[in-house]
Structures are given as C-alpha cells and as structure tokens.
C-alpha cells in the first residue's frame, strides 16, 4: 500500500464525512476544500449505526465462525476504506463510490470447471443459506476492524461449478469501469484489480463469498454487490465488487504483487513474525477503539484463525509470504 505518515490535518476515521452527508452539506459549504472541511470539525457523528435506506439482508448468525470482538462501528467501517478504484485516501471510497451501480450485476465463474456459470445477483443471493459471521479483517498497513459480514462459504459455489483436476488456484477479478470508478484512470495499480487463492484456501470453510454486512447489502465502498472475505490474510486479498471467478492451473497474477513484489506476496497470511520490508507487522490499531497514541494490539498468527495452519504445513511462511 502507499503508506503515508499521517499529516497533521489528516482526518481520523470517525471524522470523515460520509457521502450522503457530504452531498447535503454541499449547498452551504460551497467553496471549502473537502479536506479542510473534514479538519474543520464539520464532519458529524451521523451513521453511527447501519443506514436506514439500504436493503436489509436476513441471515442466520453463525456462532462457530464468529469472533467475540466488539464490532467496529458501522460509521467507521464505511468511511475508512481501501478501494483504489475510487481513490487512494481512506475517505475517498465513501465520497466517490456512489457512482458504482451494483445492480444489475453479473458474476462469471469459469476456467478449469466442468460447469461454468453466469450468475445474476438474485440467483447468487439464493445459491446457499446466508450466514452472518463476525470476522476480523486486518490491513497490511497495520489497522484492523471486526465486521459482521453476511454471505456463504465460497466452497458452496465451487461445488456447483465442479472444478476439473487441473484447477489448482482461483482468481478473483474486480470490475474496472472508468465510467463508474474514477480511480481507474490513475495508474497506481494495474486494472482490473485481481487477487487469488490456492484452491484449498478457497474451499476452506472460513472463506466467505460476501454479499452484505451489518444486516444489510454491502455499501458500495465496501465492495457491493459481491466480494470475498479471507479473514486470516491481509485485507488486500479480499477483493471487492468482483465480476469474475476463474479456476486456473497456474498461480494467478495479483495486482499488489505486480505493483510491489518484495512487499506483497501471493500468500499474504497475517503473520506477526514476518515484517513488511518497511514496517513491523507485530501489532495493529483497531479502528474506532484506539487513537494514534493508544497502545496497539498484538497481531495474532493467521489473524487469530489458527484452524487454517494445516493448509500450510511443511511450507516456510517466510519464503511464501
């Protein structure tokens, strides 16, 4: 990631103005630069809970796969985001992702499978029972959140397409549409954003094909209408707004690995013992709970999901970072 030292005037997550509020204020705050607006204290405390307008998404809480962490406030989870298709600042996705159209949507599932599928959103929503799971998500930049995601195991979809014997990896591709995503004009990453998993990682019961959060469909800035959540890996492995899932025989190229191969490997398991070349990964800041001067939390191996360790037995996780 393009890590910057926080500037003196950089807004905290809780101070960033959500898009909805930003628009209503525009009429009387014309002329003020957005950044000075946030720093000036105009940014409010609205959206402390879920939005009242977003479509509800009923789901059964899965206690077995839910962490006991205190959930991150909805207002933080939806205003402190990485979604470079809408800009590189944490507040950009909330401000600019309103132009993303999550409906109609098609997800193509193909490659090394016997039964390729093209799914619309309603079909996808009915593919398997929806579950709510509170997962920790840790960004490689050193911050984390705990979010009640809604979705179903990716394994359910994988079963339906019947991978061939050649399917060793799974590649995820994000939408890359200049008309909907202003950040795609920038050359900060190679578009479309792609990520990948080994097929056994993709089939692990923790890997969630995600359609909602906090009881509702995904907000655009969190990857509407469908994304992946892989809770034991650094956040960038959890690709947003995906349009294609492709099964491959060779390890897929991934956007962050192409951008900085020494910093972001294919595996990118959360690992406090393997430092990023430019900073330690031993600890993290939980968004909304800790300030810049509060003691950080210790980062846990596999982000506190030890059940995935068997996927990597015999592998040197310093070499395969």
Ligand X SMILES: Nc1nc2c(c(=O)[nH]1)N[C@H]1C(S)=C(S)[C@@H](COP(=O)(O)O)O[C@H]1N2
Cα–Cα distance list, 156 to 44, 101, 166, 205 (Å) = 41, 26, 19, 9
Chain residues 146-185 in contact with ligand X, contact rule CB under 6 A: 174
Q: Does residue number 83 form part of the binding site for ligand X (CB under 6 A)?
A: yes
Chain residues 209-248 in contact with Mo ion, contact rule CB under 5 A: 235-236
Q: Segment near ligand X (CB under 6 A), from 7-15, 29-37, 77-85, 157-165?
A: 77-85
135 vs 152, beta carbon nearer ligand X: 135
84 vs 266, beta carbon nearer ligand X: 84
Q: Report the candidate in 239, 220, 203 with the shortest Cα–Cα distance to residue 53.
A: 220
The entry of ligand X, Mo ion, none that residue 239 binds, CB within 5 to 8 Å by partner kind: ligand X
Strand bridging mode 227-229 / 169-174: unpaired
The entry of ligand X, Mo ion, none that residue 193 binds, CB within 5 to 8 Å by partner kind: ligand X
130 vs 274, beta carbon nearer Mo ion: 274
Beta bridge partners of 61: 132
Q: Does residue number 222 form part of the binding site for ligand X (CB under 6 A)?
A: yes
| Residue in the structure block whose two tokens are 């899965």 | 62
Burial 73-82 (b: 16+ CB within 10 A, else e): bbbbbbbbbb
Do 308 and 270 touch, CB atoms closer than 8 A?
A: no
- Which residue in the set 43, 47, 113, 139 belongs to the binding site for Mo ion (CB under 5 A)? 139
149 vs 169, beta carbon nearer ligand X: 149
Q: Does residue number 220 form part of the binding site for ligand X (CB under 6 A)?
A: no
Distance CA 249, CA 164 (A): 10
Q: Segment near ligand X (CB under 6 A), from 102-110, 198-206, 239-247, 299-307?
A: 239-247
Q: Report the candidate in 157, 156, 137, 150 with the shortest Cα–Cα distance to residue 217.
A: 150
Distance CA 41, CA 197 (A): 42
The residues binding Mo ion (CB under 5 A) are 82, 139, 235-236
The residues binding ligand X (CB under 6 A) are 1, 81-85, 137, 139, 145, 174, 193, 222-223, 235-236, 238-241
């Amino acid at each position: 990631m393009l890590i910057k030292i926080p500037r003196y005037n950089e807004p905290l997550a809780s101070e960033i103005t959500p898009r909805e509020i930003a628009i209503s204020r525009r009429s009387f705050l014309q002329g003020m630069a957005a950044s000075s607006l946030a720093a000036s204290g105009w940014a409010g405390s609205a959206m402390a809970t879920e939005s009242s307008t977003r479509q509800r998404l009923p789901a059964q809480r899965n206690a077995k796969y839910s962490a006991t962490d205190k959930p991150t406030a909805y207002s933080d989870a939806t205003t402190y985001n990485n979604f470079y298709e809408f800009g590189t600042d944490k507040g950009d996705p909330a401000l600019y992702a309103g132009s993303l159209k999550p409906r109609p949507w098609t997800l193509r599932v193909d490659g090394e499978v016997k039964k390729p599928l093209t799914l619309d959103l309603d079909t996808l929503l009915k593919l398997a029972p929806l579950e709510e799971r509170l997962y920790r998500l840790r960004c490689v930049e050193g911050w984390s959140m705990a979010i009640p995601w809604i979705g179903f195991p990716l394994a359910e979809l994988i079963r339906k397409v019947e991978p061939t014997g050649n399917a060793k990896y799974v590649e995820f591709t994000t939408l890359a549409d200049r008309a909907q995503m202003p950040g795609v004009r920038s050359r900060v990453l190679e578009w479309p954003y792609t990520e990948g998993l080994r097929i056994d990682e993709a089939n692990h019961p923790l890997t969630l094909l995600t359609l909602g959060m906090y009881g509702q469909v995904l907000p655009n800035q969190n990857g509407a209408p469908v994304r992946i959540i892989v809770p034991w890996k650094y956040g960038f492995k959890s690709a947003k707004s995906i349009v294609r899932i492709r099964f491959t025989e060779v390890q897929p190229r991934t956007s962050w690995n192409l951008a900085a191969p020494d910093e972001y490997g294919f595996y990118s398991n959360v690992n406090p013992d393997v430092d990023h070349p430019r900073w330690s990964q031993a600890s993290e800041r939980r968004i909304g709970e800790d300030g810049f001067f509060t003691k950080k939390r210790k980062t846990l191996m596999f982000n506190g999901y030890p059940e995935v360790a068997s996927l990597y037995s015999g592998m040197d996780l310093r070499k395969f970072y």
